[in-house]
Chain A
Amino acid sequence: MLFSPAPPMHIPDGFLSLYVSAICWLVTILVLSLAISKTNQSLGERQVPLMGVMAAFIFAAQMINFPVLGGTSGHLLGGALAAITLGPWAGMIVMTAVIAVQALLFQDGGLTVMGANILNMGLIPVIVGYGFYRAVLNRNRIAKLAVTGVAAWLSVMAGALFTALQIWLSGHAQLDVIVPAMLFVHIFIGIGEAMITVAALSFIMRTRPDLLGEESESAKAGGGWVLIGLAIALVVILLSPFASSDPDGLERVAINLGFINTSNAAVYNILPDYSIPLLGQTSSSTIAAGVIGVMVVVGLAYAAGRFLQKKKV
């Protein structure tokens, strides 16, 4: 009863093939060692207790929930918030510690797949969250909050997409079912994350703006983050409409099952030809629609920020 509501992203052992787990570990270790060497350079020993307590904060903050709709509740996952308040490198290490303890102590996520879990819930959300925030670092408060909301939502969606892709690459689910299913579930989890992250950031901005000011760790990171964060977000945007433009996936499976025998099954084998799912007849137009849609949302959020700021002054 006391323990944190597990978001459906913690992959347990056995759900990824060893091959996929190993690749995820490799990527995670590479990025983490970079993060560790960067933090060792820039942080004093004072920062180590800070990061430890902040990791406990993320863990504890995941227990703060609020009712959303029909008995479901939203709660914080914390990737974007950690990135914004602690800076990207420290944020990654803090999220890694959180995921490690969830797996080690509470069996919330497996041990062999911990590399994948760290990647999906620790590294990707921090990169996306920080990349977006870094782009509006010198803008006004409203623009920061609006972009933070978009970033928090996208960080959850990106993590969900990576999870789905890893399960599919392991040959444990079908692409046209798992991607829409994971993304659909996380649309709402992401909205909860966005609302709570924006509210928390706004609270910190009002009470301790010095923690987020010019001298903060978060402000020191380079502008390259913007590019990487936007690139990952773009991948999510490119893949989501493809996934959701194919709502009849189940029907297609049924057709395969009912009318086409196993000769066509190669499509679902491990590591199928990437070009088959991506070059669908309508996918280019839906991808374009997705990109335009997100640009409109970001533009509107920005315009709203500018407008509100002018009105205030």
Chain B
Amino acid sequence: MHSDAFDRYHHGHSLIHHIDPRVKVILTLALIVSNVMLPDGAWPAFTLMWLVLLILNRVSGLGFWFTFARSFIALPFALAAITVLFSPQGNSVLSIKILMWNLMISDYGLIHFASIVVRSWLSVQIAILLVATTQFPDIVHAFKHLHVPAILTTIIAFLYRYLFVLVDEVLRLLRAREARSAAASGSRSAGGVLWHAKVAGNMAGQLFLRSYERSDRIYNAMLARGYQGQMHTLNPHHYHLSDWLTLGASSILIIILQWIGRL
């Protein structure tokens, strides 16, 4: 498989693509923290944040709705917060009778729930913009500069590099299983749950051994090419004037967002 199947990076030459990865990582984190700090029901601030995101989308050349279209991944988790709808605080807006339960949705619960969902939805969009405009090795490199321990960044770099190879292995294993157990998927004709679990477990074990042996070969190949425990990059990072300007502008944006949110 080609690595593009997983890569979230979209090549481009926009202003945003050219910002230093360290600056982009810090700004992403700062904007998400700012989102999380906004109080419940700060709709003007949430709206402003979203408008800024749309503009950034446009500037990055990915299209106005790019991050919006990919942002629904976080919504299933909203179910976990659904109980706040029935919060005992505030006035009731709507009451639902389910069997013997009398569930009341309060105005406080409604605002609280909507704010949680909007915060996470905006945060996901910011993170999507980061990975769409920054190559993943550059992000990892940025984390290394930001004093994340070298062992972690090196392992993450390896993980990223070999993910594609091992996913290929998994796809081969899955194809082999399908080829050898025609009616297995979903139907009981091929055996019970235990049988399915055993097959899946054997596949995981098989994958483990293949990965283990592969890592040995990788290490030997790397030694042969002069590996000394360090990863090097061909994209050295330098701060430019535009990076400082971006940092300054974003700090002002965050202050404005927090100010509007607390009006």
| A interface residue numbers (CB < 8 A to B) | 2-3, 6, 8, 10-15, 17-18, 21, 32-33, 36, 39-40, 45-46, 48-57, 59-61, 63-69, 71, 74-76, 81, 85, 93-94, 96-98, 100-101, 103-108, 110-112, 167, 172-174, 177-178, 181-182, 192, 195-204, 207-208, 211, 250-251, 253-254, 256-258, 260, 262, 264-265, 268
Contacts and interface: CB of A to CB of B under 8 A. Distances in A.
Nearest to A208: B209
Interface in B152-169: 152, 154-163, 165-167, 169
Contacts, number: 304
Given A257-B92, A258-B102, A11 B77 contact: yes
B131 interface: yes
Q: Range of interface residues on chain B?
A: 35 or more
Interface stretch (B56-64, B195-203, B248-256): B195-203
A100 B156 contact: yes
Contact of A36 (B124, B149, B222, B229): B149
A67 B199 CA distance: 11
Contacts of A75: 200
Contact of A13 (B32, B112, B194, B204): B32
Contact of B214 (A53, A55, A74, A260): A53
A11 to B, nearest CB: 7
A253 B86 contact: yes
B258 interface: no
B139 A104 contact: yes
State the majority secondary structure of interface residues on A.
helix
Interface of B: 5-6, 8, 28-29, 32-33, 35-37, 73-74, 76-77, 79-81, 83-84, 86-90, 92, 100-104, 106, 112, 116-124, 127-128, 131, 136, 139, 149, 151-152, 154-163, 165-167, 169-170, 173-174, 184-186, 193-194, 196-209, 211-212, 214-216, 218-219, 222, 227-229
Contacts of A17: 36
B204 A196 contact: yes
Contacts of A55: 155-156, 158-159
Q: Which 10 interchain pairs have the tightest Cβ spacing? A: A199-B201, A52-B158, A203-B205, A14-B119, A14-B120, A13-B123, A195-B197, A53-B215, A60-B166, A12-B74
A100 B159 CA distance: 10
A69 B193 contact: yes
| Residue from A39, A63, A71, A200 whose CB has the most chain B CB atoms within 10 Å | A200
A293 to B, nearest CB: 23
A13 to B, nearest CB: 3
